[in-house]
Amino acid sequence: MRFSWRMAVVVVVVFFAFVALIAFGQGILGRPLVDGGLFSVGMALGLLAMGASIGATALYALRINRMEAEAQAGDQHSNNPASTNESESP
Amino acid sequence: MRVIICVFAFLAMHAGGAYAQTEGGAEAAGPLAITMFFAIILATLVITAWAARRTRSAHEFYAAGSSISGLQNGFAISGDFMSAGTFLGMTGLVYMAGFDVIIYVLAPMAGLAFILFLLAERLRSLGRFTFADVLSWRLEERPVRAFAAVGGLAVSLLYLIAQIVGAGTLVQILFGIPYAWSVIIVGGLMVVYVSFGGMLATTWVQITKAFLLVGGVVFMAIALLVYFKFDVAALYTAAAANHPLGADLFAPGGLYKDPLSAFSLAVALIFGMAGLPHILMRFFTVPNIYEARRSVFYATGIIGLVFILIFFLIAIGTIALVMNNPEFLGPDGVVRGGGNMVAIHLAGVLGGEILFGVMSAIAFATILAVVAGLTLASAATISHDLYANIFRKDRAAEREEVLVSRLAAFGVGVTAILLGIAFEGQNIIYLIALGFAIAASANFPVLLLSLYWPGLTTLGAVVGGGVGLVTSTAMVVTGPTVWVEVIGFSEPIFPYAYPAAFSLPLALATIFIVSKLDPAGRRDGPRDLRY
């Protein structure tokens, strides 16, 4: 499976898993994270899910941009300045 | 151009004068807020005048000549998504219902990531301007273009009316201007931005506003922490003590009647984002795919920062400091201006008249920028899809198409103003719910399959997308929000407020079955793109 599809599946699964917890796991999410505190397990998990979405975007953008920049640098090294990121790399 | 600016400046001043004579109550903004309000309008008009001199070709009008950098476009994408519904509406919703609003907070981050991974690359490599351009790249042009234009316009107009009604109410409350005048001022300004400045002005207005909104929200969060001497536990305790839900404020159960409602709303929010025309257009304003990827990364970061600060601090702060505060209660015992105003009241508590004025002006700029983006997307659909491609059968000169765009922006603006006045005082939440439901059920499945499924046929796309459009609309109209709350029947025909969990799979299945049963319509799959 391509990298982009794997990342998309991860983000969608994390999102709907969290929604399913809101729908069915209300007892778990409503519990305070620390005994006697007010900040709930649900708020902590929500924050984690948000971090995961932003992190996945960052990982994807940085990784694909670096890979394509390297592929292009390689192309230019082999005297083929016309090639772009859409062309087949050797 | 100058004449029109003068006319609107006159209208605005006239309305301001009317306020000074008739109002002056404590809830209206003081002279400082009025000054900020004019400073913001002036800044956006200067941007428009600058952009108008640089906008000639269709590519410049629709896509700002692809001249926007990744970071700038990241601000513009987040600006497009962060409407007045974000800062004001989301705060108001948490103020009322607490924890459950977290689905609204998480959905845009997950939705943007999904768009980046599966849609942005391919959309971008096609190098077109609208959703309809993408469909006609591989299917028979005229039927899919007509379908895409209807789907895109339906979503944009619903969203636009909701924003205009919200804007009218906000300006009315903030500045004491009569509702109809507020709507005319907001609608008039948005027409000026779009028809004269095109995408370049719209984008820069959006960037300016997103920058101001991020700054304002960060500043308010810090001011709130200073107010509570950096003791977050004290803030949360004060909120729980004030709210009728008590400690359950931080637990699920405040907003969704049943598990399916939560799930269906989640489907509409995450996939609906991919079907919003004014968000998709943003992938064409950057010079290349590298900048497009970086811009989505910046956008998720910016939206994440703002939404997290609003949900975890500012909204909790409104419950702790504005709720039950006699200073903000109207004669009927409800907070003045309703839930949408609690964030603005909090600004007053934290920073006095100065912060109140600044945040009011930022909220106003937010509305202006979002309605401008929506108007541009609608104008592009009318001129590019309906006029140039269908009505003139691709024989229109580019100058003619840009002229029609400018006229279309004017027409969309006038329509939005009239509908905005007609919808005065209506519950606007169902308009946004309907917009997202249509975007997720009609536009998104057709877009996704046209990019990834070689077996898709023109008939499948048009019939399946049409089924998504009709069923999602019918389910919202016969559901609790319209059938019961707006029309007044006692029982809804369709029991759930959010239809996307039903209408999206139905649309996907219809597209699949009709395409399979349509051997004559089979076309080659996507060829010029790698899988």
What does DSSP assign to residue B282?
G
Write the DSSP string, B42-56.
Answer: HHHHHHHHHHHTT--
Dihedral, CA of residue B290, residue B294, residue B297 and residue B301, to nearest 10: 180
SS3 track for A1-64:
CCHHHHHHHHHHHHHHHHHHHHHHCHHHHHCECCCCCCCEHHHHHHHHHHHHHHHHHHHHHHHH
* Cβ within 8 Å, pair A16-B266: yes
Give the closest residue to B493 by CA, choosing from B471, B509, B510: B471
Position B5 pLDDT exceeds 50: no
Across the strands, what pairs with A40? A32
Mean pLDDT across the stretch B187-210? 82
B41 contacts: CB under 8 Å, gap ≥ 6: B12, B189, B368
Which residue in chain A has the smallest CA separation from B246? A38
Residues B383, B385: Cα–Cα separation, whole Å: 6
Cα distances from B502 to residues B30, B137, B471, B495, B506, in angstroms, run 49, 29, 9, 12, 6
- Say how many C-beta atoms besides its own lie within 10 A of residue B330's C-beta: 11
Residues of B in contact with A42 (CB under 8 A): 99, 102, 250-252
The two structure tokens encoding residue A24:
């069915």
Residues of B in contact with A11 (CB under 8 A): 110, 113-114, 117
Of the two residues B48 and B10, the one the predictor is more confident about is B48
Q: Does residue A45 belong to the interface with chain B, where contact is any CB pair within 8 Å?
A: no
Residues B183, B218: Cα–Cα separation, whole Å: 29
- Position B420 scores a pLDDT of 85
Q: Tell me the backbone φ, ψ of residue B109, rounded to 5 degrees.
A: -70, -45
* Cβ within 8 Å, pair B308-A47: yes
Residues of B in contact with A2 (CB under 8 A): 531
Give the pLDDT confidence of B401-456 residue by residue, as tens digits.
778 888 888 888 898 889 888 877 666 666 777 788 889 999 999 989 988 888 88
- Position B133 scores a pLDDT of 76
Return the exposure string of B32-42: e unless at least 16 CB atoms fall within 10 Å of the residue's CB, then b: bbbebbeebbe
* Cβ within 8 Å, pair B117-A60: yes
**Residue B359, CA atoms < 13 Å, CB-side half-sphere:** 26
B100 contacts: CB under 8 Å, gap ≥ 6: A22, B252, B253, B254, B255, B256, B262
Position A62 pLDDT exceeds 60: yes
Q: Does residue A44 belong to the interface with chain B, where contact is any CB pair within 8 Å?
A: no
Please answer whether residues B29 and B348 qualify as being in contact, where contact means their C-beta atoms are separated by less than 8 angstroms: no
Q: Does residue A84 belong to the interface with chain B, where contact is any CB pair within 8 Å?
A: no
Residues B64, B202: Cα–Cα separation, whole Å: 9
Helices within B228-247 (DSSP H only): 232-242
**Torsional class of B5: left (φ above 0), alpha (ψ -120 to 50), beta (otherwise):** alpha
Q: What average pLDDT does the structure give for chain B? A: 81
The two structure tokens encoding residue B352:
């006095």
SS3 track for B306-346:
HHHHHHHHHHHHHHHHCCCCHHHECCCCCECCCHHHHHHHH
Mean pLDDT across the stretch B321-350? 85
Give the pLDDT confidence of B207-263 residue by residue, as tens digits.
888 989 999 999 999 999 999 999 999 999 999 999 999 888 999 987 887 888 889
- Position B427 scores a pLDDT of 61
Give the pLDDT confidence of B275-290 residue by residue, as tens digits.
887 787 777 777 788 8
Please answer whether residues B114 and A8 qualify as being in contact, where contact means their C-beta atoms are separated by less than 8 angstroms: yes
Q: Tell me the backbone φ, ψ of residue B288, rounded to 5 degrees.
A: -155, 175
Please answer whether residues B101 and B93 qualify as being in contact, where contact means their C-beta atoms are separated by less than 8 angstroms: yes
- Say how many C-beta atoms besides its own lie within 10 A of residue B168's C-beta: 28
CA distance B258 to chain A (A): 7
SS3 track for B105-174:
HHHHHHHHHHHHHHHHHHHHHHCCCCHHHHHHCCCCHHHHHHHHHHHHHHHHHHHHHHHHHHHHHHHHHH
Distance of CA B306 to the CA centre of its chain: 15
Least confident of B58-62, B84-88, B95-99: B58-62
Which residue in chain B has the smallest CA separation from A25? B252
Percentage of chain B exceeding pLDDT 70 = 87
Query: What band does B12 get if pLDDT is binned at 50, 70 and 90?
Result: very low
Which residue in chain A has the smallest CA separation from B296? A57
Mean pLDDT across the stretch B378-407? 78
Please answer whether residues B9 and B156 qualify as being in contact, where contact means their C-beta atoms are separated by less than 8 angstroms: no
Give the pLDDT confidence of B456-482 residue by residue, as tens digits.
888 999 999 999 999 998 998 888 877
Please answer whether residues B328 and B340 qualify as being in contact, where contact means their C-beta atoms are separated by less than 8 angstroms: no
The two structure tokens encoding residue B15:
């309305």
Position B114 pLDDT exceeds 90: yes
Mean pLDDT across the stretch B59-76? 77
Interface predicted TM-score (ipTM): 0.84
Q: Does residue A23 belong to the interface with chain B, where contact is any CB pair within 8 Å?
A: yes
* Cβ within 8 Å, pair A12-B301: no
Q: Does residue B127 belong to the interface with chain A, where contact is any CB pair within 8 Å?
A: no
